[in-house]
Amino acid sequence: MIYFDHNATTPLDERVLAAMLPFLNRYYGNPSSLYRHGRLVRSAIDAAREQVAALIGVSATQIIFTSGGTEANNLALAIVNPAAKFAISAIEHPSIIESALHLKNQGHELIIMDVDSTGSITQNAINQVIEQHPQLVSMMLANNETGVIQNIACYAEQLKANNILIHTDAVQALGKIPVQFDALNVDLMSLSSHKIYGAKGCGALVVGRDITINPLIYGGGQEQNRRSGTENVAAIVAFGTAAELTNNELTQRSKHHSSLRILLEQRLTSIPKLTIFAEAALRLPNTVLFGIEGIDGEMLVMQLDQKGIAVASGSACASGGNAPSHVLLAMGISPEQAKTAVRVSLGISNTEAEILDFVTTLTGLVG
């Protein structure tokens, strides 16, 4: 199989698997237990917390381990005070949009920030939000469908100057571009392990030093009373290892992704009526979202699957329905054209030969 769907999930790195396995069999103690078997497990969680913190340049106490990016996003929005205003961009992941709509139903005022035709949040949208003075603004660092990278650092600085809190969903950016919490000027950041070759079901909310969290889950007081529940030890160890590997290998991974993407986009130009969405915007080096006029994206995904190639139509998390992507609609693309969208998201094991194979197969299918 040619696997080109790394924005949906990445395979578990063999080195990560080796690090987590002992915590699925040998070291099964509860990290809250006082005896040695428990303390050993606790120290593995502490080490993983340091590794994740090091990747984004924060201190370990700022990391709250969660069940993934979805929970981290829900936990971030839960800081909004009762009846307070908050804002999100129109292109957020469903774990922000649905959580925001839930808060709206509970009486919060929700502001949706528009994007332009390149999928970028505009200065104008930021100016309008500042005038309305919400408590919190949530803007993703990179979009899972288009790969478009937002100018978070600059916008966050302006929002901060107006005493507005900023959350960024960095789930897709992590491991593909450098992500530094302080340089981005944000107060809260969501991460997910299975997008950086870690295990599924583990992520983190990164919290600014002066931010108080309203827990979603109450219980034994784990994660400094901010997220109770016995820790998913093996997955946390995996996240730590994946973060350390990412830290060491980011430059080389980025170069690899970029060179493959350049090749892919060059070859795609030979296919008639093909558009690369958000082509003019700064994008993640591993992501290409394209559409071919008159060809249904989901249909193409099925046909490619029969040829042993795994790609996505729009966002995998939102799959199941055939609705056009909310991200493309927000960019002003017609529902008809949005339904042509196919996403290729590259990973560290992909090769030039796979890119060439893919383009040949695609040409054969649509030619």
Q: How far is the CB of 112 from ligand PLP (least distance, A)?
A: 17
Q: How far is the CB of 330 from ligand PLP (least distance, A)?
A: 14
Contacts of 345 (CB under 8 A, 6+ apart): 4, 5, 6, 7, 8, 147, 286, 287, 288, 312
x-or-dash string of contact with ligand PLP, 155-174, rule CB under 6 A: --------------x-xx--
Q: Using the minimum distance from each CB to ligand PLP, give the nearer residue, 150 or 222.
A: 150
Instruction: Tell me which DSSP letter residue 161 carries.
Output: H
68 lies in the site for ligand PLP, by CB under 6 A = yes
Interface residue with ligand PLP, options 134, 175, 203, 240 (CB under 6 A): 203
Q: How far is the CB of 151 from ligand PLP (least distance, A)?
A: 17
Interface residue with ligand PLP, options 10, 51, 62, 70 (CB under 6 A): 70
Given the residues 54, 111, 263, 317, select the one marked as catalytic.
Answer: 317
Q: How far is the CB of 70 from ligand PLP (least distance, A)?
A: 3
Q: Using the minimum distance from each CB to ligand PLP, give the nearer residue, 89 or 362.
A: 89
Give the torsion sign (CA, 32, 34, 36, 42).
Answer: positive
Chain position carrying tokens 């502490």? 46
**Largest distance between two CA atoms of the chain:** 67
CA distance 44 to 170: 25
Contacts of 292 (CB under 8 A, 6+ apart): 271, 273, 274, 275, 300, 340, 342, 366
317 lies in the site for ligand PLP, by CB under 6 A = yes
Interface residue with ligand PLP, options 49, 63, 64, 69 (CB under 6 A): 69
296 lies in the site for ligand PLP, by CB under 6 A = no
Q: How far is the CB of 43 from ligand PLP (least distance, A)?
A: 25
CA distance 257 to 347: 7
Active site residue 317: yes
Question: Residue 65's closest CA among 318, 195, 212, 238?
Answer: 238
Nearest-CB residue for ligand PLP: 69
Q: What is the CA radius of gyration of the chain?
A: 21
Question: Residue 27's closest CA among 239, 231, 243?
Answer: 231
Catalytic residues: 317
Q: Which residues bind ligand PLP (CB under 6 A)?
A: 68-70, 73, 93, 95, 140, 144, 169, 171-172, 192, 194, 203, 317
